[in-house]
Chain A
């Protein structure tokens, strides 16, 4: 993978990394006695691609769920853009510009690709129920305006030909792409991606990598990425945090992490 994407590697060095936007301090999360996360701290900087890696069950998805408010940690502080959040609901996180995709695709199966991506615009739509019922004037205008934005996303992800297909009928790789589209439609400042390349073949992975890097590059979106493909992670990440059994065992630039003895033990040792 290293040699597959020379251009992206160059771009990576030219992007400017900003201040800390998301700061997680001493996060602990448990489900009825089972510890999912123990005392984890790390931060995410503006415009960077920050990866979370670790063996299965390390608590990576739980970490994302904590960031966008699906789970509420019992201990620790979360600072987003300098403000502390307490018990925030996911839709508030969404309103603050955090979007995400899921490990097991969480598309709305009964709706078309277009409608799925349109739901991503939901927060930016202001018209009320009555206006929708009339579909007159402002509501129609709003719908059309957002449709234009959604079409941009569709163009960006190269899925024009399937825009009216129900997502349930699409192959796995395309579904993952649509899910990314739905997240992008919200124009997030922080994008959480949970294994966006799981189960994909090499071409699909390359496409997905390209989209992720383009998003990061063109829109300056900060990205937190969970991924199992080490080649991809080491290639596109600015910094990597490593979890194992709910604990943080490594944090730093890809090269540092790669040579961290604890990380090597976790991946090659008894636990995997």
Chain B
């Protein structure tokens, strides 16, 4: 009975166009944010912060990026990981080559590098659609990783392109503990998620969705497909780039180009399919799911076989479960976990009545 919108009247369009028009949603959101920024740092172990929460947040950001391109603008990409790599190496080089480069600026500049590369590889989208475009993004995936390995300048002449992230310091405060890194990641991801939510619910987002749903009609009402598609590529790659920079600076510390593999790109794609295509919320759910599943499987397998586990069983099972779930979600619930969440909310709105 707590979840009711009765009695909440909108007297102006501003009130009607909030992100959370229902009061309980807003309270819920603030409560969740407060929990993750205040309570979690106090109770979570180092393992949870380092191995679960930070990667979930980072992949959520990458998934938002891919969701902008694939979910909202309808352009399939299999190269998200490569754009993450551009962001990571971009930020690294800005930190390395410019004295006193503030970390946040390097993060954003890294994202901008990714955006430029994204635009370049998005150009073919003006002429081609669907899986043809997938090939363009595959080209990006293979070419970028190759270039980062082969041209030592990118990694400051290290062998096979491995880079070690510099220390993160903002206004004299060093982010060197798991908790501080977690909070930094959380802050960056929260801000960018909010900006993404704003983008997709205003003119920019509507023009993306219009091009996705019916490009000829979009053009006829004056949306320029070129601008819509390229802006989607730019924003999407920017998000992936920032996620990539965080991946290097607050998660792994040391990264190599080969780490940003096609497999990682697929994983990000799976996040949005399972989490929910064209949903910011879904990006978080999907990222959490995909990060947690292998960990859960590993724990479960160890508990089951206790040391006598057949080699590779967990990883094969992971492949099978991922593949199976993708097919399952596409068939049964193409809008993913986010849609299930929404259905749950709608039920709750009526509860305890059936209709």
The residue in A100, A109, A129 that gathers the most chain B C-beta atoms within 10 A of its C-beta is: A129
B209 lies within 8 A of A111 (CB):
yes
Minimum Cβ distance to chain B for residue A107 (Å)? 7
Looking across the interface, which residue of chain B has its beta carbon closest to that of A124?
A: B222
Query: Which B residues are in CB contact (< 8 Å) with A91?
Result: 219-220, 222-225
Chain B residue numbers with a CB within 8 Å of A93 are 220
Q: Is B5 an interface residue (CB 8 A)?
A: no
Q: Among the interface residues B203, B223, B225, which one has the most CB atoms of the partner chain A within 10 A?
A: B203
Contact with A along B211-236 (1 / 0, CB 8 A): 01110111111111100000100010
**Bound CA span A140–B207, Å:** 17
Our pick among A94, A102, A122 for the contact of B207 (Cβ within 8 Å) is: A122
B199 at the interface (CB under 8 A from A): yes
- B75-95 CB mask vs A (1 if < 8 Å, else 0) is 000000000000000000000
Task: Say if the beta carbon of B195 comes within 8 Å of chain A.
Answer: yes
Residue pair B220, A94 in contact (C-beta under 8 Å):
yes
Shortest Cβ distance from residue B266 to the other chain A in the assembled complex, whole angstroms: 24
Contacts of B222 in A (CB 8 A): 91, 94-95, 122-123, 186
Q: How large is the interface on B (under 10, 10 to 19, 20 to 34, 35 or more residues)?
A: 20 to 34
Question: Does B210 reach chain A (CB closer than 8 Å)?
Answer: yes
A68 touches B220 (CB 8 A): yes
Q: State which residues 91-116 of A face B: CB under 8 Å.
A: 91, 93-95, 99-100, 102, 106-111, 115
B316, CB-defined interface residue at 8 Å: no
Chain A positions 151 through 179: 1 when the CB is less than 8 Å from some CB of chain B, otherwise 0: 10000000000000000000000000000
Residues of B within 8 A of A129 (CB): 199, 204, 231, 235
In the assembly, what is the distance between CA of A191 and CA of B195, in Å? 36
Q: In angstroms, how far is the closest chain A Cβ from the Cβ of B185?
A: 20
Of the candidates B14, B221, B225, the one whose C-beta lies within 8 Å of that of A120 is: B221
Q: Do A119 and B206 form a contact, CB below 8 Å, given A91-B223, A99-B221?
A: yes
- Return B198 CB to nearest CB of chain A, in Å: 4
Also in contact, A144 and B14, with CB within 8 A (given A115-B206, A119-B210):
yes
A183 neighbours in B (Cβ, 8 Å): 221
| Cα(A106)–Cα(B210), bound, Å | 10
Q: Which residue of B lies closest to A93 (CB)?
A: B220
Bound Cα distance from A109 to B217, whole angstroms: 12
Q: Show 14 residue pairs from A and B whose CB-CB distance is below 8 angstroms, ordered by the A residue.
A: A70-B216, A91-B219, A111-B209, A119-B223, A132-B199, A132-B203, A132-B204, A133-B199, A133-B204, A134-B198, A144-B14, A147-B17, A148-B13, A151-B13
15 extra A-B contacts, CB within 8 A, seeds A68-B220, A127-B203, A135-B202: A90-B220, A91-B219, A95-B222, A100-B220, A106-B214, A106-B216, A108-B212, A108-B214, A120-B221, A122-B203, A132-B198, A132-B205, A134-B195, A147-B13, A183-B221
For the complex of A and B, the 10 pairs showing the least CB-CB separation, nearest first, are A94-B222, A106-B217, A108-B213, A135-B198, A123-B222, A133-B195, A132-B202, A90-B219, A147-B13, A132-B204
Binding site for B on A (CB under 8 A): 68, 70, 89-91, 93-95, 99-100, 102, 106-111, 115, 118-120, 122-123, 125, 127, 129, 132-135, 139-140, 143-144, 147-148, 151, 182-183, 186
